[in-house]
Amino acid sequence: TSATRDGESLVLSGDGVTLTFGPVPVPEPADLIDTTWTLTTLLEGETASSVDARPATLVLHEDGRVTGSTGCRRFVGQWSTEGDELVIGPIGTTRNACRGVAALQDKHVLEVLDGPVSATVEGTSLTVQKGLLGLAFSAWVITNTAVLHVGPAEIRVERRGEVERVIPRETVDGVHRRG
């Protein structure tokens, strides 16, 4: 097993497998409007908590509609601006029951997305704040990250803990090897 540097890339090799990692390009700043925002953090006062349930989503459409999910229930409503604040609501949700951490997240998201809020976009991050409660979103779909499990006979691609694809090694061996 070895780790070497090739220019700006990191090359990891071992057991007949070579993985090459390169720099990620800096993304363009996201627009507040018509961007799908994915919840990354729940904010309460000085406390920031990771998302333990499915991440919520938020889209502020140019036509004044707001759509998304609490991570448990879908919602739709209206949004507008009033001075420096966004005014969200009223919002209607689907009626399915949320349990456990999904219920806590659902309540938090709906409490924040009700009425006037401050919204700040920095790069690909959006923070929505209402009093001591807040939500931090990312324009990057972090939850869609694939995990590769490279074995001697196959490569498994997993997303959200589920196998998405199995690729036989003989179809890719030698494609990305160096030297």
What digits encode the pLDDT tens for the residues 113-146? 999 999 999 999 999 999 999 999 999 644 445 6
Instruction: Report, as an integer, the average pLDDT of 87-112.
Output: 95
Q: What is the identity of the amino acid at 118?
A: S
State pTM to two decimals: 0.67
Report the distance separating Cα 51 and Cα 90, nearest Å. Answer: 24
Instruction: Report, as an integer, the average pLDDT of 43-49.
Output: 94
Q: Under a CB-based contact definition with an 8 Å cutoff, are residues 163 and 157 in contact?
A: yes
pLDDT of residue 156: 74
pLDDT of residue 51: 86
Question: What pairs with residue 117 in β-bridges?
Answer: 86
pLDDT of residue 141: 45
